Amino acid sequence: MAVDVRTTDRIDVRERLDDPELASRAVDLGFGDRDLVDLVKAVHTVRGRKDDLGVVTGLAHRLVDRIGRLPSPPGDEVFADVPESPMARDGVLAMLALLATVPDVVDFHARRGVAAEISLATLGDLGQQVRLHRRMSGAFGLHTYAWLTLAWSGALYRLGRLQFNLELDVGLHGQQMWVLSTHIPATGPLTPGSVDASFAMASTFFAVHFPDYVPSQPSHTVSGSTTDFVCRSWLLDPALSTELPGSNLAAFQRRWHIEGAAEPGEIDSLYFIFNRRPPVDAAALPRDTRLRRLTADKLAAGHGWGIVRGRLAPAPQ
């Protein structure tokens, strides 16, 4: 099996951070005004601190070494053994390493023939995660850097409403195979039409740009291409269809064949629905939508939505 791994000289991270296009790149990746101001300050600070600059450099080299290595190793491995410091604790050093290595990921995308707008939409998850961090903590930083290594490895792509990444998994017929793991970014309504379009895009995209990673016995057909889609999410909890009949979330849940038992989902329910981390007082959670009211009631009773794994059901013939 072909493995498209980038081979490059060690990158000069100081030069990358000094790049006058860095701020413009951050804007393109979705950094808002407040985050951009704090980013510029962080870059200035790190350039003057040898130890912090060394950490960013080491992380950047780890990120570049993983580009094109599929399946992508766990993201926590990249950020293991980082020396303790306030900027490391808030994820700022990890953020700078991700930002400094954007050109390397874009180069990999280009060599795979990925369109520039898909590359930008994919890597724009960095700005989204920085905004989410501020919404949760009130401060500049990034706690989800391990998640972002999926995109930085070249395995994950934003295709319309959804994200998909190549991973090895046990297929429908019991053999190990390449599948597309489906993710749902919190970026707007999950309308059936937008979801249909994303699945169609993904089926074609990976067949065209990653023909060396195709499932041997696919279970789903979209627009003439065959792909095995899997998903692990609280959105697949069957109770959604009962509690929220007629909703976009219920329609999304009904697309999937459930596999196995649900796992506890309190942390995911807090994070994705309320942008909070435990511990919290469930009685004090906002109840401004029906989903939030239902979830707050569940959390007050000691449980959230279950995390469920599913496989996309074949479309009706």
**Which CA distances in Å does 107 have to 166, 207, 214?**
19, 20, 22
Per-position DSSP letters for 177-235, written without gaps between them: EEEEEEE--SSS---HHHHHHHHHHHHHHHHHH-TTS--SS--EEETTEEE-EEEEEGG
Contacts 24+ apart (CB under 8 A), 225-229: 227/179, 227/180, 227/202, 227/203, 228/169, 228/171, 228/172, 228/177, 228/178, 228/179, 228/180, 228/311, 228/312, 229/164, 229/179, 229/180, 229/181, 229/182, 229/199, 229/202, 229/311, 229/312
Q: Which two tokens stand for residue 219?
A: 């279970």
Predicted pLDDT at 215: 52
One-letter identity of residue 306:
G
One-letter identity of residue 145:
Y
* Gap between the Cα atoms of 174 and 160, Å rounded: 30
Predicted pLDDT at 225: 42
One-letter identity of residue 164:
F
* Gap between the Cα atoms of 101 and 104, Å rounded: 5
Strand partners, 177: 169
* Gap between the Cα atoms of 257 and 275, Å rounded: 28
Predicted pLDDT at 214: 67
Dihedral sign for Cα atoms in the order 217, 219, 225, 227: negative
pTM attached to this predicted model: 0.91
Other beta carbons within 10 angstroms of residue 253's beta carbon come to 24
Q: Are 305 and 240 in contact (CB under 8 A)?
A: yes
Q: Crossing angle of helices 33-47/50-66, nearest 10°? A: 110
pLDDT by residue, tens only, the chain of 317 residues: 233 444 445 789 999 999 999 999 999 999 999 999 999 999 999 999 999 999 999 999 999 999 999 988 888 889 988 888 888 899 999 999 999 999 999 999 999 999 999 999 999 999 999 999 999 999 999 999 999 999 999 999 999 999 999 998 876 667 788 889 999 998 889 999 999 999 999 999 999 999 988 654 444 444 434 468 999 999 999 998 899 999 999 999 999 999 989 999 899 999 999 999 888 999 999 999 999 999 999 999 988 899 999 999 765 44
Q: Which two tokens stand for residue 180?
A: 């597309």
Vertex 198, ends 230 and 237: CA angle to 5°?
A: 40
* Gap between the Cα atoms of 209 and 225, Å rounded: 13
Q: Would you list the domain boundaries of the chain?
A: 10-154
Dihedral sign for Cα atoms in the order 87, 91, 94, 95: negative
Q: Are 175 and 192 in contact (CB under 8 A)?
A: no
